[in-house]
Amino acid sequence: MVKVALIGAGYWGSKISNSLNKNKNVSEVVIIDVRNGDSIDNIPKDYTTAIIATPLWDHYATTSKLLTRGFDCYVEKPMAETADDCIRLQEQAGEQILMVGHIFLYHPALEYIKSNLFKIGKVRHVTSQRLNWGIYQKKTTPLLSLLPHDISILLELLGTNIQVENAVGADFNNPTQPDYVNFNLKFDNSITANVIGSWYWPERVRKLTIIGTEGLIVWDDVRNSVVFYQGNVVDGRLSELNVTETHIPDLTISPLERELNHFIESVVNRTQPKSDANNAITAAKLIDEIATYLH
């Protein structure tokens, strides 16, 4: 049985706490509410597993301290604000379990799309949108706060050989940080991708559109659906599309529960998690490169 110290008791921390309480391998959870002056020094001595759900600018410092004390750590995305800091954490971890919260890698919709990607032929382009009139942050940008989700999805689907083509940011209501980010990537075999993220947007959009030589896939996370559009060219003209929609069912086990279960299993079995430090570093290097275009 695993005793888990949860550092951070905010909006997402409360969801993590609820999910941990459903895990049969977790015997106890102690919550360290740093907002109210609590400290990781108050973690009981018999605890060796930690989940860090503090603001992203605190991830590196808190995780580093816990790794030094011998903890296995799950860190909400991004693992740290820079790739260099992610690499330092990996070096500190050694044989300890270190995992980043790339939650969509544990989403059944992504697993379903990946196993059925062949149905649309050769992938040519992907557009990913993550937009909302949401929690507004002045100490960071959508690139670090929102778009690690989209980057982790693209890395999972298309591989890690990527070039950043360009990126732009816009300050709609924040003179110090972009609150809108739009960037273009190029993968192997000339696959291109466009990613857009903002928390200053009038509607909630979480959509992935994949364009292939024999059809298209649209994953709408708001509608909880995956739609396949298949068609071809007949006599020089596009045929009508054959549309097949799959509703991803409401899960008894949510993506967050699946992710946390995977972390706890990695701790118990001493196995490398899917979203390990290497996964975090690959995403962070790409984020670092994109960020150079925004300054």
Instruction: For residue 113, give the nearest of 273, 259, 244, 251 by alpha carbon.
Output: 244
Q: Which residue has the higher pLDDT, 78 or 188?
A: 78
Using a 10 angstrom Cβ sphere, with 0-12 exposed, 13-18 middle and 19 or more buried, the burial of residue 181 is: buried
Please report the DSSP string for 178-236 in residue order.
Answer: -SEEEEEEEEGGG-EEEEEEESEEEEEEEEEEEEETTEEEEEETTTTEEEEEE--EETT
235 pLDDT above the threshold of 90: no
165 pLDDT above the threshold of 70: yes
Q: What percent of the chain has pLDDT over 70?
A: 98
- Mean per-residue pLDDT for 55-76? 97
Look at residue 48 in the predicted model and tell me its pLDDT: 96
Look at residue 128 in the predicted model and tell me its pLDDT: 98
Instruction: For residue 126, give the nearest of 155, 101, 169 by alpha carbon.
Output: 155
Q: Identify the band that residue 63 occupies on the pLDDT scale cut at 50, 70 and 90.
A: very high
* Virtual torsion, Cα 205, 256, 114, 89, nearest 10 deg: 100
Q: Identify the band that residue 236 occupies on the pLDDT scale cut at 50, 70 and 90.
A: confident
Look at residue 10 in the predicted model and tell me its pLDDT: 84
Strands (E), 93-190: 98-101, 123-133, 162-170, 180-187
Instruction: Return the bridge partners of 156, or none.
Output: none
Q: How far apart are CA 272 and CA 188, in angstroms?
A: 27
Q: How far apart are CA 87 and CA 80, in angstroms?
A: 9
Q: How far apart are CA 124 and CA 126, in angstroms?
A: 7
Q: Identify the band that residue 177 occupies on the pLDDT scale cut at 50, 70 and 90.
A: confident
User: Hey, what are 98's tokens?
Assistant: 């270190």
Q: In the CATH scheme, what architecture does the domain 105-253 have?
A: 2-Layer Sandwich (3.30)
Instruction: For residue 214, give the nearest of 177, 242, 186, 256 by alpha carbon.
Output: 242
pLDDT-wise least confident of 132-136, 145-149, 231-235, 269-273? 231-235
Q: Cα-atom radius of gyration of the chain, to the nearest Å? A: 20
Look at residue 242 in the predicted model and tell me its pLDDT: 86
39 pLDDT above the threshold of 80: yes
pTM of the model: 0.94
Q: How far apart are CA 290 and CA 63, in angstroms?
A: 25
Q: How far apart are CA 263 and CA 19, in angstroms?
A: 12
Look at residue 272 in the predicted model and tell me its pLDDT: 97
Cβ contact 27:4 at 8 Å = no
Please determine whether the domains at 2-101+266-274 and 105-253 fall in the same fold group of CATH: no
**Total number of residues shown for the chain:** 295
Cβ contact 9:33 at 8 Å = yes
Q: What percent of the chain has pLDDT over 90?
A: 81
Please give the backbone phi and psi of residue 113, each rounded to the nearest 5 degrees, phi first: -65, -45
Look at residue 196 in the predicted model and tell me its pLDDT: 98
Q: How far apart are CA 133 and CA 130, in angstroms?
A: 11
Instruction: Return the bridge partners of 168, or none.
Output: 182
- Mean per-residue pLDDT for 194-200? 96
37 pLDDT above the threshold of 90: no
The whole-angstrom distance between residue 224's C-alpha and the CA centroid of its chain comes to 17
Look at residue 240 in the predicted model and tell me its pLDDT: 75
Amino acid at 6: L
Cβ contact 116:50 at 8 Å = no
Q: How far apart are CA 227 and CA 247, in angstroms?
A: 8
Mean of pLDDT over the chain = 93
Q: Where are the domains of the chain?
A: 2-101+266-274, 105-253
Look at residue 247 in the predicted model and tell me its pLDDT: 79
Look at residue 34 in the predicted model and tell me its pLDDT: 87
Query: In this predicted model, what pLDDT tens digit does every residue of 108-122 receive, in sequence order?
Result: 999 999 999 999 999
User: Hey, what are 279's tokens?
Assistant: 């996964």
Which top CATH class is 2-101+266-274?
Answer: alpha beta
Look at residue 182 in the predicted model and tell me its pLDDT: 98
Look at residue 264 in the predicted model and tell me its pLDDT: 98
Q: For 249, which DSSP code?
A: P
- Mean per-residue pLDDT for 167-180? 88
Look at residue 250 in the predicted model and tell me its pLDDT: 66
- Mean per-residue pLDDT for 46-51? 97
